Amino acid sequence: MIVDFLLIPAVIVIIGGFILPLLPQNLRSSAFLVFPLIALATLWQLPDGYTLTLPFGSYELVPIYVDSLSKIFGTIFAMIAVIGGIYAFHIKDLGQQSSALVYAGGALGVTFAGDYFTLYIFWELMAVSSAYLIWARRTKETDETGLRYLLVHIFGGGLLLGGILWHTSETGSILIESLPDVYSFSSVLILLGVAVNSAIPPLHAWLADAYPKATVTGAVFMSAFTTKSAVYVLIRIFPGWDILIWLGVAMALYGVVYAVLANDIRQILAYHIISQVGYMVAGVGIGTEMALNGTTAHAFSHILYKSLLFMGAGAVIYSTGKSKLTELGGFASKMKAVVFLYMIGAFSISGFPLFNGFISKSMVVSSAGEAHLEWVMLLLILASVGTFLHTGLKLPYFTWFGESKSKITVKPVPFNMLIAMGFGAFFCTLFGVAPGLLYQYLPYPVDYEPYTVYHLVEMTQILVFTFIGFWILRKKLEGDAKLALDTDWFYRRPASFVRKVFVDNVDRTFGVADDAILSTTRFLTGKFKNPMVWLNPFTDQSNEASRYSPGMEVVMSFIMFSFLILSLFYLL
């Protein structure tokens, strides 16, 4: 029985996070890879419909529930934990390694959770463990960013928990089931909680704030787990909610607009996570079998190419120490392998034929067409133009190819980073060339062929003319050494005011009260130390008990004795 619980994929990986500190340092990086691999092997042994239950008060927890949807998400989470582990192989920071494993375990736990409480526990575990991947850089800036990240996620978790409790009291059930498209308090609270993690504007600012500041290796994990596990939960609970269609489209465009304005390379990628997750959210909103398949496939592809892109950007930061477009440029020849592998990721996200973005993004877009949402379709295509424009053209052009904007020394990149990027690039291409490999594991039967003449013509024309547009206007796209305000303004700008009112003022009040009490005490103890001073002005001012006169001692002893006798009488 207990063995069954130990074989839950999430538990395996989380236990790994706790075993890691017990191992000698030179084994940790290898051990890091073992746990997600075991989890991967285990989850493929579990048959569809496999479930375990655990009594919890008057409820039954379902810590694991396996079906084709959770299996495909679990697979990609475990895969990316392995790839990320290879990328971070050279890291000697135990804190980062352990928290990354616990983070991966949290994502797996959310994926296989069959009830809301299990979901909530793993949800919060993800938030806490991932915050360390920001703090691990140990600068003042990242300390603050990490705290903001954690606070936002705790807020989101609170909304989720509120919704869960409300839902449970309404229905009496804690099992995760899709909710009907009706706005009740419980469903809206749950939706808001999940929306924080899916980075749906205006609740998205934590993502663009935190990911660029995470460690080089930490950002790779972060780009994969938090938003995609939230997308998974959306597919589970909110399929066919109409509002998600337009929220998704808005996200897709919002990310694109901000990616024009961003200057930090990982911030550009972060805004494109928002944009890409927009496709998935829209897919969930459309809610047809094809759309949900497309969302699942796109989440799978997205994790692969986005982590590859983050690995490429991370390699730039690792080897140059710079992360801004306004400081980079002109050193492509010094890191050819990284540029090559990054470009595979960029081709994938842009939806080039033969890469995995093409086979999944087109599925979401086509499902919008089939549901006769033609403007949704056109706007999603517009967003994909933006994706190619930034991730595929602007970022690599100004990072590696354009003229150099500052003195750059290029440190060699560890070989393990390149191997990890190689794995990512391999899978991006593999699923692009052979989409059937992915399609057969999607939750619903797939009746969709990405490689039609129509799609190929469409993508060729769009990509070629996006490129031409970029080439003509590329001067406009140069990075601006500026900060782009986002909705985090609402909690960052008033921070000093809030601090003044709720921290500094409260502190000051306590301080004043503290001083007053202490000085009163000091005054009184001074006065009562030697009452003889009041009774006899001529007595010795320095009061030491040993110098009291015997007469005085007798009087005091008598008083004490009477007091004892009286209190004894009183008590009896």
Partner 1 sequence: MKTWHWISLGVLTVISLIVEFTMLADYDSHWWNAVPAFYIIWGFLSCVVIIYVSKWLGKLFIFRSEQYYDR
Rounded Cα distance between 439 and 455, Å, is 18
Task: Identify the CA nearest to 104 among candidates 19, 35, 198, 199.
Answer: 35
The residue among 30 and 496 lying less far from partner 1, judged by its C-beta, is: 496
Task: Give DSSP secondary structure letters for 82-98.
Answer: HHHHHHTTT---HHHHH
The verdict on 377 binding partner 1 (CB under 8 A) reads yes
Candidate residues 214, 273, 344, 389; the one interacting with partner 1 per rule CB under 8 A: 389
In this chain, which of 485, 524, 559, 560 binds partner 1, going by CB under 8 A?
A: 485
User: Structure tokens of 439?
Assistant: 């399609």
Determine the Cα–Cα distance for residues 343 and 320; give it in Å rounded to an integer: 19
Name which of 411 and 499 has its Cβ closer to partner 1. 499
Could you say which of 94, 483, 513, 564 contacts partner 1 (CB under 8 A)? 483
What number of other Cβ atoms are within 10 A of residue 518's Cβ? 10
Tell me the window of 167-175, 244-252, 374-382, 509-517 that interacts with partner 1 (CB under 8 A): 374-382
Classify residue 134 by burial, with Cβ atoms within 10 Å: 0-12, 13-18, 19+. buried
Do residues 103 and 226 lie in contact, with contact meaning Cβ atoms separated by under 8 Å?
no
Q: What is the spatial distance between Cα 11 and Cα 112, in angstroms, rounded to a whole number?
A: 11
Residue 202: cis peptide before it, omega within 30 degrees of 0: yes
The one among 4, 170, 374, 504 contacting partner 1 by CB under 8 A? 374
| Site membership for partner 1, residue 354 (CB under 8 A) | no
Residue 325 engages partner 1 in binding (rule: CB under 8 A): no
Rounded to the nearest 10 degrees, what angle do helices 356-370 and 415-433 cross at?
40
Nearer to partner 1, 165 or 462 (CB): 462
Among 337, 484, 532, 533, binds partner 1 (CB under 8 A): 484
The span from the CA of 388 to the CA of 384, in Å, is 6
Using alpha carbons, list the distances in angstroms from residue 455 to 221, 316, 397, 461, 572: 32, 34, 27, 10, 99
| Piece of the chain touching partner 1 by CB under 8 A; list 46-54, 107-115, 130-138, 479-487 | 479-487
Tokens of 293: 């398949």
Among 476, 542, 547, 569, binds partner 1 (CB under 8 A): 476
Q: Near partner 1 by CB under 8 A, which window of 118-126, 154-162, 473-481, 546-554?
A: 473-481
Q: Is 400 in the site for partner 1 (CB under 8 A)?
A: no
Q: How far apart are CA 24 and CA 491, in angstroms?
A: 42
Q: How many CA atoms lie within 13 A of 156 on its CB side?
A: 31
**Interface mask (CB under 8 A) for partner 1, residues 77-106, using x and -?**
------------------------------
Under the criterion CB under 8 A, does residue 382 sit at the interface with partner 1?
yes
Q: Whole-angstrom Cα distance, residue 534 to residue 94?
A: 67
Q: Please count the residues of this chain forming the interface with partner 1, following the rule CB under 8 A.
A: 42
* Contact set for partner 1, span 260-279 (CB under 8 A): 260-261
Which residue from 48, 449, 480, 504 is in contact with partner 1, where contact means CB under 8 A? 480
- The span of 18-26, 168-176, 233-241, 455-463 binding partner 1 (CB under 8 A) equals 455-463
Q: How far is residue 352's CA from residue 357's CA, in Å, rounded to a whole number?
A: 7
* 332 binds partner 1, rule: CB under 8 A: no
Interface with partner 1, residue 290, by CB under 8 A: no
500 binds partner 1 (CB under 8 A): no
Give me the residues that bind partner 1 (CB under 8 A), please. Answer: 256-258, 260-261, 369, 374, 377-378, 381-382, 385-386, 389, 453-454, 456-458, 460-471, 473, 476-477, 480-485, 492-493
